[in-house]
Structure 1
Amino acid sequence: MFTKLSKAAVSAAVLSAAAVAMAAAVPASAVSAPLSHARTAVHFDLAKGQTPENIALAPGGTAYVTFAKARQVAAVSRSGAVRILATLPLPADGGVHTPALGFPLTVGIVRAHDGTLYFLYATGTADLTGVWRLRPGGRPERIAALPADSLPNGLALDARTRTLYVTDSEGAVWSVPASGGTATAWSTDPTLAPAGFLGANGLKIHNGAVWATNLDKGTIVRIPILSDGTAGTAQVTATGLTGIDDFAFTGHGDQIIAALDTVNEVALVQPDGTHTIVLTAADGLEGPTSIALRGDTVYVMSAAYLTAKDPNLILAHLGD
């Protein structure tokens, strides 16, 4: 998630034109293995605010997504049918004080093994901002408050310790018990800080560490989880990833597939930090925001924040 939208310093038309121009500057030939056979599987309804921000996959084939602008959580079937599971309440002030953005939005989402969904809601108000839970057949409830001046963005669940980790794009990672309770500022390392707009963004737990992206700095940061649960020393593992949003590990060690939102690309990032571009606008990207993998199928969500054309879900094949 990256665009200021209602608080943008230039008109939406100018932003859209710029985004399209950037995407057009990358030829289809820039796409390289190991992603292939990209196709648009689902088109979402922009007029309804269906800007897919984040995704969590379920074993049966359902994808759970957050629609940022609609303040919704939805289930997307294998056939592409969209079912709205929850719409979050609009804050009394309309969300105009949401940091950096000026509108309320649903953001990161994860699914526990029992089917419980955890997701984030950012409103700029103390009564609604925080971590929310939706049990199967239940109603959404906030289980942990976050400060009104925070911008919760990425979410990950450490199933072993039943701990939720939250990136705050104002420059922190929070930890919250999955059962609910008080949020703790787990890390405020300078590598998480913004450089003008949004800092810490995407988030995953992998090999005993919290991995986070920094949109403004175009970096990936690894922070070890120490034996006592506290944060170790942060290390920047990759740079030069312009407009990086969320990401996923491929299952090949520390190899990563990352959504580069502002430049309309998807990158394959190697463990040594080098990267290649594996998808572009020529493959149907419309401002990619998040990545998920099921087997050798890669799911890429695009919110079309800047292009304002076709928020969608693209599927691609991982492997030569």
Structure 2
Amino acid sequence: MPRLTRSAGVTAAVLALSLLATAPASGGEPPVTDPRVVAHFDFAAGQTPENIAVEPDGSADLTFSNARQVANISRTRGTRILATLPAVANPHTPVVGAAIVLGIARAYDGTLYVNYATGTSETGIWRIPRGGGTPRQIAQLPPNGFPNGLALDERRGVLYAADSVLGTVWRVPRSGGTPTAWAVGTALQPVTAPHSDGPPVAGVGANGLKFHRNAVWVSNSATGTLLRIRVRHNGFPAPIQTRATGLYGIDDFAFVERHRDTALVALIGSNQVARVRPDGTHTVVLTRQDGLSNPTSVAVRGRTVYVPSAAYFTRQDPNLLLATVHQRARR
């Protein structure tokens, strides 16, 4: 959920990740422990980490939205720029007005895919070679849209992108080509829910997106909901289900385990991460006191939780936070 900032060149910081093995949790332990900020970024240089993909070695691939860059953060190599999306002369991006890079997805072979929103014909999905290199656009999406969250279904060979303005989940062949409006509906639209108890989020509907257990899961920032869309055998979407409510200002999210629907969600406005159970109830597990500064997304690898904070509204300390998740602390 980006905020317009002044673009500037990126100064790569040499920062280390402390990716430590963790012991199994006992039944009385909280679900997330040991939060620590392991990397700090330069807000003025556009180093606003919007989305994340984790490499097999535990390093993090981050989209620096306002710098239009993708960076790898590693304990051995520091911060390394993998790719820079091309500059756009006159961007007319909805919501923010600037050209920004948003969601990221990683294929098993190391290829990266990112969403680029510009308000021009460059809006769409771009592919970055394994290890970094020149990005190439593989699909155009509507310039009046805002492609945000991104996920890859390796088995079917398709990408899904959440459009925050048009309230659409786009489906695109992994090889590239013409996008299909795969899922639409009021539940995906940027319409503030009536009688909500939290602050409204204007103009941003479908936001984060994950492919999990043969379903496309989408967050809606405006309505504070987490949605599930099962993929039918023929590839078409089943009806949209609302799986959790009251998550006001929800951005992207990640699932704790492959075979369960427990999720950790970033709540950008309240500087929190919440644990959402399969029954839809949720509990705050990380806060600003732990180091969050407008968290935008979450990733989980083993027992390690990764939370990028873009500091869009605080304008203080964009960073990457790690914590430990105890997968057996369930209710």
* Same fold, judged at TM 0.5 (above): yes
Q: Give the deviation of 1:45 after TM superposition.
A: 1.4
Q: Which AA in structure 1 matches 2:190?
A: P
Aligned partner of 1:199 in structure 2 is 205
Q: Give the deviation of 1:135 after TM superposition.
A: 1.0
1:120 and 2:120 matched? no
Alignment of 1:67-106 (within 5 A): 67-79=64-76, 81-93=78-90, 95=91, 97-106=92-101
- Equivalent-residue separation in structure 1 for 2:315 and 2:2 (angstroms): 14
Q: Which AA in structure 1 matches 2:55?
A: A
- Equivalent-residue separation in structure 1 for 2:325 and 2:97 (angstroms): 37
Q: Percent identity?
A: 54
Decide which of 46, 50, 53 is 1:49's aligned counterpart: 46
Alignment of 1:128-147 (within 5 A): 128-136=122-130, 138-147=133-142
- The one of the two structures with greater contact order (alpha-carbon pairs below 8 A, sep at least 6) is 1
Aligned partner of 1:61 in structure 2 is 58
Aligned partner of 2:144 in structure 1 is 149
Q: Which AA in structure 2 matches 1:66?
A: T
- Equivalent-residue separation in structure 2 for 1:192 and 1:78 (angstroms): 38
Decide which of 131, 156, 159 is 1:161's aligned counterpart: 156
Q: Which AA in structure 2 matches 1:259?
A: A
Report if the CA contact (8 A) 1:2-1:245 is conserved: no
CA 1:298–1:161: 2 relative to 1, 3 Å: same
Q: Give the deviation of 1:180 after TM superposition.
A: 0.6
Normalised by the size of structure 2, how large is the TM-score?
Answer: 0.86
Aligned partner of 1:25 in structure 2 is none
Deviation digits for residues 100-151 of structure 1 (CA, Å, limit 9, x no counterpart): 111110000011111100011000012x100000112541100000010010
Aligned partner of 1:181 in structure 2 is 177
Report if the CA contact (8 A) 2:188-2:220 is conserved: yes
Aligned partner of 1:281 in structure 2 is 288
Report if the CA contact (8 A) 1:34-1:318 is conserved: yes
Normalised by the size of structure 1, how large is the TM-score?
Answer: 0.89
Report if the CA contact (8 A) 1:132-1:140 is conserved: yes
1:225 and 2:231 matched? yes
| Structure 2 stretches lacking a partner, 5+ long | 7-28, 192-201
- Equivalent-residue separation in structure 2 for 1:304 and 1:282 (angstroms): 14
- Equivalent-residue separation in structure 1 for 2:3 and 2:76 (angstroms): 30
Decide which of 97, 102, 110 is 1:107's aligned counterpart: 102
1:245 and 2:241 matched? no
> SS where residue 187 of structure 2 aligns?
helix
Aligned partner of 1:24 in structure 2 is none
Q: Give the deviation of 1:246 after TM superposition.
A: 0.4
1:269 and 2:276 matched? yes
Deviation digits for residues 28-64 of structure 1 (CA, Å, limit 9, x no counterpart): xxxx921111000111111211000000011012211
Report if the CA contact (8 A) 1:41-1:80 is conserved: no
Alignment of 1:304-319 (within 5 A): 304-319=311-326
Q: Give the deviation of 1:80 after TM superposition.
A: 7.2
Q: Give the deviation of 1:205 after TM superposition.
A: 0.6
Report if the CA contact (8 A) 1:153-1:167 is conserved: yes
1:301 and 2:313 matched? no
Q: Which AA in structure 1 matches 2:249?
A: G
- Equivalent-residue separation in structure 2 for 1:98 and 1:239 (angstroms): 29
| Structure 1 stretches lacking a partner, 5+ long | 7-31
For these two proteins, the number of residue pairs brought into alignment is: 292
Q: Give the deviation of 1:5 after TM superposition.
A: 5.7
Q: Aligned-pair RMSD on alpha carbons?
A: 1.4
Q: Give the deviation of 1:79 after TM superposition.
A: 4.8
Aligned partner of 1:39 in structure 2 is 36
Once superposed, which parts of structure 1, at least 4 consecutive aligned residues long, lie more than 4 Å away? Answer: none
Aligned partner of 1:290 in structure 2 is 297
User: Which shows bigger deviation, 191-200 or 74-83?
Assistant: 74-83
User: Which shows bigger deviation, 287-296 or 131-140?
Assistant: 131-140
